[in-house]
């Protein structure tokens, strides 16, 4: 075997990042018009809060939960005959008619872009048979997400004393919904052309942040006289997703732009490893090579909070059994912040090691006789 430079590595490396002075707006200096507000990272880390755990009505931001439950329950291409109870629902509407047929996908776009209350009821009846039964599904989902200060009585958000959430829990609902590709695509769409068996039309997204912020990738508006202006918004920058929620916010657009910029100011980009940076060798048992070189599969770059402890953990067995193939995934290097996984990259084999063939005593005897015979006959 060729001589190799041994590169030692530790299985667990803990890096402590001290508190840094930076120019992000301090939390005490961030002023928003909202009665309730919350800003989180997509993993649930709270970056800013104001009355974030106070139960409040949320108007049409309710439809975030309506949409994700409907998406998980229904076939997007299914044709839906509009239930009579969905026709003429008060408030914002896509003006569904009695007997009209529309597919689920178009109703979802009407729900999220047009904020159509009739689309909300049509989807609820199709998914669960009634508004009440669908509200039960929404509450089941809230419970599954671990929410304790959220309760739904309808799919549209029209006023009801028993219909409420908090800015923090609504942010968690949005974070969950954004993991779904269909929801994310709908929520980020600026304009959509729909078609039913009676007509065609165009929906334009009420979320102005899609035009005002280049990083905005989704959101949902809401308003009634009782709730005031409600807004959930999502931005993504350099792989970091932030979710902002405001409830009863007279100046919500400005609130959200400030909150998102404040949030990004709390992070810094750190490159932990470059692409295929060598990190060591590993022993191979019963292999043609007693040890092989290993490396990270790609660069490891993270967005990390500036004032948080970071832990880098290498997950790798102490040894391997042959055979090992070049490029085979052997483990991972993981970056944790406050105990939460931020990012990871695979550890791969830079070379292979095949099995060594071991012979029984009679196989060895047979091979010796064969070698002797070959030497005699081949003279």
Residues carrying an active site annotation = 60, 63, 115
Alpha carbons 132 and 4: distance in angstroms, whole number: 69
299 neighbors 273 (Cβ within 8 angstroms)? yes
Alpha carbons 217 and 239: distance in angstroms, whole number: 12
125 neighbors 85 (Cβ within 8 angstroms)? yes
Dihedral through CA 146, CA 136, CA 108, CA 46, nearest 10? -20
Residue that has been written with the tokens 């391997």 in this structure = 320
Q: What angle do CA 267, 149, 177 make, to 5 degrees?
A: 55
Phi, psi (rounded to 5 degrees) for 337: -130, 125
CA distances from 268 to 237, 239, 299, 321 (A): 12, 12, 16, 40
Strand partners, 343: 335
């Amino acid at each position: 075997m060729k001589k190799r430079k041994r590169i030692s590595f530790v299985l667990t490396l803990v890096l402590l990042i001290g508190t840094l002075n930076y120019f992000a707006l301090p939390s005490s200096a961030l002023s928003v018009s909202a009665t309730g507000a919350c800003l989180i990272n997509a993993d649930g880390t709270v970056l800013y809060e104001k009355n974030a755990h106070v139960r409040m009505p949320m108007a049409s931001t309710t439809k975030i939960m309506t949409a994700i439950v409907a998406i998980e329950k229904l076939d997007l291409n299914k044709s839906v005959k509009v239930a009579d109870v969905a026709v003429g629902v008060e408030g914002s509407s896509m003006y569904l008619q009695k007997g009209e047929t529309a597919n689920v996908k178009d109703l979802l776009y009407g729900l999220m872009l047009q904020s159509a209350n009739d689309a909300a009821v049509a989807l609820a009846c199709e998914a669960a048979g009634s508004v009440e039964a669908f509200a039960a599904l929404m509450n089941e989902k809230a419970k599954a997400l671990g929410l304790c200060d959220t309760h739904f009585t309808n799919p549209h958000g029209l006023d009801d004393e028993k219909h409420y959430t908090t800015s923090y829990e609504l942010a968690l609902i949005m974070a969950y919904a954004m993991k779904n590709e269909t929801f994310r695509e709908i929520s980020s769409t600026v304009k959509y052309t729909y078609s039913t068996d009676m007509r065609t039309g165009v929906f334009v997204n009420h979320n102005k942040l899609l035009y005002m912020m280049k990083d905005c990738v989704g959101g949902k508006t809401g308003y009634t006289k009782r709730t005031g202006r409600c807004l959930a918004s999502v931005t993504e920058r350099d792989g970091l997703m932030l979710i902002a929620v405001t409830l009863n916010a007279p100046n919500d657009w400005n609130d959200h732009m400030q909150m998102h910029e404040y949030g990004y100011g709390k992070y810094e980009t750190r490159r932990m490893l470059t692409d295929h940076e060598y990190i060591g060798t590993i022993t191979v048992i019963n292999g043609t090579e007693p040890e092989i070189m290993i490396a990270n599969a790609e660069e490891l770059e993270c967005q990390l909070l500036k004032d948080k402890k970071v832990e880098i953990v290498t997950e790798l067995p102490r040894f391997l059994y042959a055979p090992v193939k070049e490029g085979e995934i052997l483990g991972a290097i993981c970056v944790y912040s406050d105990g939460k996984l931020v990012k990871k990259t695979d550890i791969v084999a830079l070379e292979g090691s095949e099995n060594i063939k071991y012979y029984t005593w009679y196989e060895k005897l047979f091979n010796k006789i064969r070698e002797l015979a070959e030497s005699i006959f081949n003279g």
